[in-house]
Amino acid sequence: MPNNRHSKQLRIILAEDDPDDIQFFKKAMNELPFTYHLTIVQNGELLMQYLSQNPETLPDVIFLDLNMPRKTGFECLTEIKENELLSAISVVIFSTSYPKNVHFEENMIHILNKIGAQDFIRKPHDFQQLKLFIHHALNIVTKKAELNKAA
């Protein structure tokens, strides 16, 4: 975990079932200026189980794949946002999009935001773009935490 200008250690969960995407994400995180602890779960059931079994160390942010086995990202997002203990966790959808057309993806993102997703990151094939997307999402999370702390 790199030493850097962000002193608070972020607790991050990556809910992802694709080993290549996990490695890509980990590599990007290692190059970003954040101190963090990364937990990886490989399906939606394991994510919800982890959250229920670790209430004292809930994550600051969850990067959530939509297309996972056992329980989808949509189901997990809905359960997280309906649970009073979990609802304040920032959830960033980190997924491959399969747009049937432009409106399909726009509608899907609108629904995800309405449920409570902070952001939607389409898994890019370009590593630099992935780093930018993750960095942007984590900056929002850290600013949100600072605002909550000041309140």
Can you state the percent helix, strand and coil of the chain, rounding each to 5? 50, 20, 30
pTM of the model: 0.89
Give the span between the Cα atoms of 68 and 143, in whole angstroms. Answer: 29
Q: What is the pLDDT of residue 124?
A: 79
pLDDT tens digit string along 107-148? 888 899 999 998 888 887 888 999 999 999 999 888 877 766
pLDDT tier for residue 97 given thresholds of 50, 70 and 90: low
Domains of the chain, with CATH numbers? 7-150 (3.40.50.2300)
pLDDT tens digit string along 5-42? 555 789 999 999 999 999 999 999 999 999 999 999 99
Q: What is the pLDDT of residue 7?
A: 58
pLDDT tier for residue 62 given thresholds of 50, 70 and 90: very high
